[in-house]
Structure 1
């Protein structure tokens, strides 16, 4: 007996896509493209293409991976390698984009860039304490009812943010600082703009977030009355394409705005300062209020998605603790970490990204193409085994000097540098391809042996 399901209207797809956009698009997604535009200058186009691969294509593939495998979360993506690997990978992903780095960053970026410039310096620590407490209380309340997340983000918070951002784009391109073609180019982007843009896309954390948001998106889609896995997957995929296309357009406009701004400002150390300069230039004193509102809204949408995804996944695999309890623990832990400050969070998050991003990329790639080799564990095993060692080396090399410059850290970095493309952070690429070739070869041999055994029976 087939389940009767409602026919979705275009408006339903737009609401789900809006929710996805809001989940993905946090403060980092706002400030990193601006900063990229400033440092790439006239060479903004190749840098943009590289950035779009890791900041748009990979998150889209992560959504498609959830869709193609009928998965409901990051755990299912790693399941072909066994439940312990899948559980470990899920915990590492959620810890990185959750209470250790990603979720606290949503509050610290909003405060540091939007609120702190309006406060006396001596109030910064107390201000961050109060702001982060209120911020994560709001995130907890908005994600308390799982079925209401779509409405909170897709119908209210994200449209509000997009309206404010549209105002900034309208004014910025109506009265440009100058042509991007005349903007100065920093040394790293004079020759290797494409590659450096690719690596800058890591900072958005969206490929990791896309895997973690899977359970939130699937829950939201099922909340529309859909039951069949195939239908849920199709709606998720269509909404993912729509959302990431919109994100890509916003990225291009932000990068262009950043590049044009260097005709007037010198390139800043990070995108928060750049955005503050641009907003103040166009909107004066009122710009600070606009900036604070934009950053708080977009950061809150991402924080809601991250705390909800964490609680949903952990409740599913550790059901003795309720969704609400996991949600409260996640929100409180993120509040504590946020008060270490933005600089400390970014400094220690980079090594984890250098380790997890290669693993996430190969698992996303394997999941989206898994129909070709029937999700054979042997293919997954070879690829991940050949990826994990260079990824660990990249992690050690990216740690702060207390680790990376120690005797062990220097020895690991020296060994890593023998790998092709290691010096540009892609030392895992060739080993992963070798692992893929070996895995597919072993899989093909196993299939022939199995076919031969069947013929003999």
Structure 2
């Protein structure tokens, strides 16, 4: 069955959406809407480029190249191994999965706890044990994820989020306020950088393997059709993400005039839901966060386990699911605040490299796959992004302040362009020297 029916493709797309849509996807759009106010359309435009456009590009690029490792090998084999492992560990047991589990607890369980119990670490431990127990069970049968996510969990999640938006139209919260901070002067660029927090662009580099397995289970084995259906599912998932982001950012923007600023998007969404539905809204909010974070965690656990089982075949997929579930549970108990504090600098280091890798792959034929273009561009990009990330841990490098766009979180762009030009020139000189030697 090479031709995948539209209904099945739709369910695959919903599965991919559910794997994308987790903790960061819920809390950052409302915060963006709240802080950007009347500049929300521009800010959301930048956010959609990095939080939707880049993930779709990543899905397409990885599908065409045959995987993240093969793609990263265009830079250097050693870089491919190090970068791929770093990506999987970041979106997996060290950051992405623990963040999802701890946020699900904060929003789904914590509001129902008394003040005396809330300060104890036992509730988080018990919740994370149950959370990862369910995730482990779902991961044992990755071929069934399409039916479990596409037919049941994702539609439920979409209905719950849409109900909040629709209800806000009948019970208006307030109007758009004036933008705050960086959203005043460069909302587009600020929105673009905020899109890093969803982690979807780097997650998309790894979800391709889950989609491929699902499509093969449906009878799609031809390589071209696998690539085609993977890209189509990515585009449909991206459409759903765009719609939900617009809804959430609208809710955040209208909440500013009534509730003022909050510490994070989770609090913003909590204020909105409680205003619309009263105390019963905590149940609705708990369901939304639990479903979103669970589906994302399952997608990340599955893709990470499949990757590590491939590079270390002596350890089975089931064993990796166990290892990663336990390690993720341990990191989840560190607490949401500490995880968020550590995650942003890590994303600042990784995201520019991932973006450059995807863009170069997209224009691969234009520069005829010159390996020096990949190498030089990545070296220049990583040098700046890593130093910038270290700056968030107190290791400031003053010279970076002279880079264009550095204050906007995009200081890596010019160095990347310099690396690109240097790679083209050096590659051309090497080619001419080789041709002269042959003569």
Q: TM-score range by the shorter chain?
A: over 0.9
SS of the residue corresponding to residue 366 of structure 1 reads: helix
1:30 aligns with 2:26: yes
1:287 aligns with 2:281: yes
Conserved in 2, the CA contact under 8 Å of 1:27 and 1:295? yes
Matched with 1:224 is: 218
1:77 aligns with 2:71: yes
Matched with 2:127 is: 131
Conserved in 1, the CA contact under 8 Å of 2:76 and 2:375? no
Matched with 1:344 is: 338
Distance in 1, Cα, partners of 2:374 & 2:23: 34
Matched with 2:407 is: 423
Conserved in 1, the CA contact under 8 Å of 2:60 and 2:234? yes
Shift of 1:450: 6.4
Conserved in 1, the CA contact under 8 Å of 2:3 and 2:220? no
> When the two structures are superposed, what TM-score results if normalisation uses the length of structure 1?
0.92
Worse overlay, 96-105 or 439-448: 439-448
Unaligned runs of 5+ in 1: none
Matched with 2:297 is: 303
Shift of 1:83: 2.8
SS of the residue corresponding to residue 297 of structure 1 reads: helix
| Match for residue 320 of structure 1 among 314, 324, 330 | 314
Distance in 2, Cα, partners of 1:449 & 1:139: 56
| Match for residue 179 of structure 1 among 175, 178, 188 | 175
Distance in 1, Cα, partners of 2:73 & 2:291: 35
Shift of 1:427: 1.5
Distance in 2, Cα, partners of 1:103 & 1:122: 28
Matches within 5 A, 1:5-404: 5-69=1-65, 71-72=66-67, 74-124=68-118, 125-180=121-176, 183-399=177-393, 404=394
Shift of 1:419: 2.0
SS of the residue corresponding to residue 372 of structure 1 reads: coil
Conserved in 2, the CA contact under 8 Å of 1:51 and 1:197? yes
Shift of 1:263: 2.1
| CA offset digits 1:289-309 (Å, max 9, x no partner) | 111011100111100000001
Conserved in 2, the CA contact under 8 Å of 1:354 and 1:398? no
Unaligned runs of 5+ in 2: none
Distance in 1, Cα, partners of 2:131 & 2:336: 15
Distance in 1, Cα, partners of 2:194 & 2:115: 30
Distance in 2, Cα, partners of 1:103 & 1:184: 35
Conserved in 1, the CA contact under 8 Å of 2:59 and 2:234? yes
Conserved in 2, the CA contact under 8 Å of 1:184 and 1:262? no
Worse overlay, 170-179 or 209-218: 170-179
> When the two structures are superposed, what TM-score results if normalisation uses the length of structure 2?
0.96
Distance in 2, Cα, partners of 1:287 & 1:242: 30
Conserved in 2, the CA contact under 8 Å of 1:311 and 1:326? yes
Worse overlay, 6-15 or 351-360: 6-15
Worse overlay, 171-180 or 222-231: 171-180
Distance in 2, Cα, partners of 1:318 & 1:373: 35
| CA offset digits 1:100-134 (Å, max 9, x no partner) | 11100111111112221111133232211111111
Shift of 1:242: 1.0
Distance in 2, Cα, partners of 1:79 & 1:340: 35
Aligned residues: 437
Conserved in 1, the CA contact under 8 Å of 2:4 and 2:220? no
Distance in 2, Cα, partners of 1:105 & 1:341: 8
| CA offset digits 1:412-457 (Å, max 9, x no partner) | 2x12212222222212110001111122233344556667788x6x
Shift of 1:185: 2.1
| Match for residue 432 of structure 1 among 416, 420, 432 | 416
CA RMSD of aligned residues (A): 1.6
Shift of 1:27: 2.0
